A and B are shown apart, each in its own frame.
Chain A
Amino acid sequence: MKTAIEAPANVQSSRNKSMKSTITWYLFLLPTFLGIACFIVYPVFESFRLSFYNSNGTIETWVGFSNYERVLGQSAFWNAVYNTFYIAFFQLLLAIPIGFVLASMINRIHRFKSLFKVLFFLPNVTSIVAAAMIFMFILQPEVGLMNHILDTLGLQTSPWLSDPATSKWGVILLTIWHWIGFVIIICLANLQAISPELYEASEIDGATSLQQWFFITIPNMKGTFAFLLIMGWISGLQRFQEIFVLGGAGGSPSRSLQTMVALIYERGFGGFEFGIASAITVLLFLIILLFTVFNLKLTRLKL
């Protein structure tokens, strides 16, 4: 019971009261659920419906599964899926371990901790659009910063974004630069949450710092890696902004950068093929769903 003084009221009025209180709580939730109804539920169902129509926004004709057949039979679709996964995979594969090692280093030094946190996190607060613009020049083959440094170190230079064979690696570098600060901050927060008693106990047993790192720190960070993996995949599968700035909706050179979202954008707003774009959307959505369930199962992350 909520109130300390409860009048011996009859059942009817008590039911009225709880009814009234429930309505009050629903009012608190009204803005959020209005948003869910208008901007999530309706659009998701509408996307699904549209994927069975041939539509340009005004004229609609039912075509059944033919949009899906067309999409799945197109090399453009599979190319976009491949590019999306390729970039996201290498971004995660490199950024999570590097970020974790850097976080472990920051965690161990006694001074300047917050200075490094700020410096490493700086790229993450800048818009990815601005970051992509800067990288367009950094990765420029002749006068760019990157090739100059590689050349000075005696390493092989690369055409980066101007060649389809290497352009994805240019984007991977950009995404790692932009994301690594996030990885470091999340790792640091969770490193500090590991109980110090674990380290003290192992120290008595004579463990070295490196042994501690391998046998205490890394196992205790499993949940953190799982979180980063899931966040990374969800955002990686939605990649668009940097692609759009660097290579337009087509993902040039020669579609080597086009991602799934870029393809949706190109079909939907370049060609006004809403049915086709919706079919790609539903497929993207299914992939995100499958992947997230798979990742949750794989990492046994409790949400």
Chain B
Amino acid sequence: MIEDHKKKQKLVQIILFLLLIIVAFIVVAPFVWMVSISFDRMANIQVPFPPTFIPDLFSIFNYELVFENGRIFSAYLNSAFVTFCSVVLQVLAALLGGYAFSKGTFKGKKLLFIIVLATMMIPIEARLIPLYSMFNAAGLLNTFWPVILPSILYGFGVFLAKQFFDQIPDSLREAAQIDGASEFRTFFQVYAPLAGPITATLVILSFMGNWNEFVWPLVVLNSERLHTIPLFLASFSLENGTSLAGMTMALATMSVLPIIILFVFLQRYIIQSIALSGLKE
């Protein structure tokens, strides 16, 4: 009887595993196909048909075309610069805010916290036009400022940081303050060094968000010279439609590469931080 049960369990395991493998293959297939077309010499003239996952005529020709154009490099640099500045601003502001909401005692704390949470509900789309006019009036269109500056508000980051600091005991603060440390010193010398895990989470979430950001940069960065990776991709795609499959797929591959490499190395932390965002208290 126990033997039977074990056999059945094993069978269930195998069936589940096979089903999952099939679904996983469907999910991953678009990436494999993308890479395959990008290495196909003839793909710009004719998309290989019937579709294959191994290119008929293997060649790095499409990548040579993409590199020759050179705009991909400046797009990478622009994306890197904008993302770096935004991440620094967001993470710093989120840690400071989260700390204050967790450890602070001050007037209006509850109300202010609700205001911060409410900001998450107000999408960039609802602010697109006034923000555009504002930066236009300041003469900052077609610079990176309008992309970077609004990052300073990171409501979800403040929320996550508060949750984290709530778990660190108050006794550390009391000890530091008996020694006469100011609130800022306590934060930077006692709590910030302990905030490694939450900082990593915030950096990852903020990095992915900013690297893939599209709508707002599209509005304020008209000059091609300033285009970030998603903007460059979209403008290439709009110009060429479904022609030039080889080049399009080489570009797509190049554009997803950094984030996929990052994901492969940090997947445990990325998945953890996403899971954290949806966990109830």
Interface residues of A (CB under 8 A from B): 2-5, 21-22, 24-29, 31-36, 38-40, 42-44, 46-47, 50, 57, 102, 105-106, 108-110, 112, 114, 116-123, 125-138, 140, 142-145, 148, 177, 180-182, 185-186, 188-190, 193, 223-224, 227-228, 231, 234, 238, 240-241, 244-245, 248, 261, 264-265, 268-269, 274, 277-278, 281-282, 284-285, 288-289, 292, 302-303
Contacting residue for B115 out of A36, A120, A128, A181, CB 8 A? A36
Of the candidates A25, A33, A137, A148, which one forms a contact with B37 in the assembled complex, judged by CB atoms under 8 Å apart? Answer: A137
Which among B13, B33, B264 is the interface contact of A109 at CB below 8 angstroms? B13
- The answer to whether A119 and B274 touch across the interface, beta carbons within 8 angstroms, is no
- 16 further A-B contacts with Cβ under 8 Å, apart from A40-B153, A125-B208, A137-B248, are A3-B177, A5-B178, A29-B97, A32-B93, A32-B153, A35-B152, A39-B149, A105-B16, A125-B262, A128-B214, A130-B256, A134-B33, A134-B34, A185-B271, A188-B275, A224-B278
In angstroms, Cα B101 to Cα A248, docked, is 43
Q: A32-B116, A138-B33, A193-B279 are in contact. Are A117 and B271 (CB under 8 A)?
A: yes
Residue pair B27, A122 in contact (C-beta under 8 Å): yes
| Residues 116-139 (chain B) with a chain A CB within 8 angstroms | 116-117, 119, 121-123, 125-134, 136
Which residues from A are CB-within-8-Å of B49? 142-143, 148
Say which residue of A3, A228, A238 sits within 8 Å of B125 (CB atoms).
A238
> Which of B54-62, B64-72, B103-111, B194-202 faces chain A?
B103-111
A133–B23 touching, CB < 8 Å: no
Most buried by B among A32, A35, A106, A278: A32
Q: Taking the complex as formed, is B11 at the interface, i.e. its CB lies under 8 A from any CB of chain A?
A: no
Q: Which of B245-271 contact A (CB under 8 A)?
A: 245, 248-249, 251-252, 255-256, 259-260, 262-264, 267-268, 270-271
Main secondary structure of the interface of B (DSSP, over half): helix
A177 to B93, CA, bound (A): 33
Complex formed: what's the CA distance from A114 to B149 in Å? 37
- Judged by DSSP, the binding face of A is helix
Interface contact A36-B119, CB-CB below 8 Å: yes
With beta carbons under 8 angstroms apart, the residue of B119, B126, B229, B277 that contacts A127 is B229
- With beta carbons under 8 angstroms apart, the residue of B121, B129, B153 that contacts A36 is B153
The tally of CB-CB contacts under 8 A between chains A and B is 300
Q: How far is the CB of B86 from chain A (nearest CB, A)?
A: 12
11 A–B contacts from the bound complex (CB under 8 Å): A102-B20, A114-B267, A127-B259, A134-B31, A137-B248, A140-B47, A224-B278, A227-B280, A268-B129, A269-B219, A278-B129
Chain A residues within an 8 Å CB radius of B251: 133
Q: Which of B20, B33, B154, B242 contacts A116 (CB 8 A)?
A: B20
In the bound complex, what is the Cα–Cα distance between A223 and B180 (angstroms)? 45
Q: Do residues B24 and A227 form an inter-chain contact, with CB atoms below 8 A?
A: no
Question: Are B125 and A133 in touch, CB under 8 angstroms?
Answer: no
Cβ A123 vs Cβ B177 within 8 A: no
B100 x A35 contact (CB < 8 A): no
- If the complex has contacts A50-B130, A134-B249, are A129 and B214 also in contact, measured as CB distance less than 8 A? yes
Q: Are A281 and B128 in contact (CB under 8 A)?
A: yes
Query: Which A residues are CB-close (under 8 A) to B133?
Result: 46, 57, 274
Distance A241 CA – B270 CA, assembled complex (angstroms): 23
Please tell me if the beta carbons of A40 and B29 are within 8 angstroms of each other in the complex.
no
With contacts A136-B237, A140-B242, A223-B280 known, is A189 near B51, CB below 8 A? no
Knowing A35-B153, A40-B153, A42-B130, the reply to whether A126 touches B260 (Cβ < 8 A) is: yes
Q: Evaluate contact between B106 and A21: CB separation under 8 angstroms.
A: yes
Give A224 to B127 CA distance when docked, in angstroms.
30
Residue B187, interface by CB 8 Å:
yes
Task: Tell whether, in the assembled complex, residue B23 and residue A102 are in contact, meaning their CB atoms are under 8 Å apart.
Answer: yes
B221 contacts the other chain (Cβ, under 8 Å)?
Answer: no
The reply to whether A119 and B128 form a contact with Cβ atoms under 8 Å apart is no
- Interfacial chain A residues near B275, Cβ < 8 Å: 185-186, 188-189
Chain A residue nearest to B214 in the complex (CB):
A241
Q: Are B256 and A47 in contact (CB under 8 A)?
A: no
A114 to B270, CA, bound (A): 12
